[in-house]
Amino acid sequence: MTDTTDILGYVLCRTCHQPKAIKQGKGKRAAFVHGRCECGPDTRTGKAAQAEMKAYQSLEAVQAQIEAMKQPEPEQTESLPIQTEKQTQSPTEPETKQEPQSQPVTTVKCVGIGAFLGLVCGGIIKTIKAVA
């Protein structure tokens, strides 16, 4: 009988970019695999995390992935003709103005708007009560 604490394989840790050792769980966690790397233990039991950890490979394959990540990508110098926006439009199409992208409302703005509306509505209600 083999020991259940044996390392099944390795995956690449997305956080520290080091090999993460994958082992089979014991006891009530026997249905799950777990990992350990420089970051610490990874005992997530979600489907996505388990699928990622069950796709373990040999240590050599993971180290090859790490080395490939460290290599700088070669620059691609393709000689494509540079076209301006006016050259790409057909002469029959009218020029369209680009509308600016709308910015999302931040939490601070929402709180400010809420405080302002509360102050205004509260003042109106206070005035109505005072008149009535």
Domain boundaries, the chain: 7-70
Query: Rounded to an integer, what distance in angstroms lies between the CA atom of residue 35 and that of residue 41?
Result: 6
Residue-wise pLDDT tens for the chain (132 aa)?
445 468 999 999 988 989 999 999 999 999 999 999 999 999 999 999 999 999 999 999 999 988 988 887 666 665 555 555 555 555 565 566 677 777 777 888 888 899 999 999 999 999 998 987
Q: Hey, what amino acid is at 89?
A: Q
Does the CA dihedral 63-66-72-75 come out positive or negative? positive
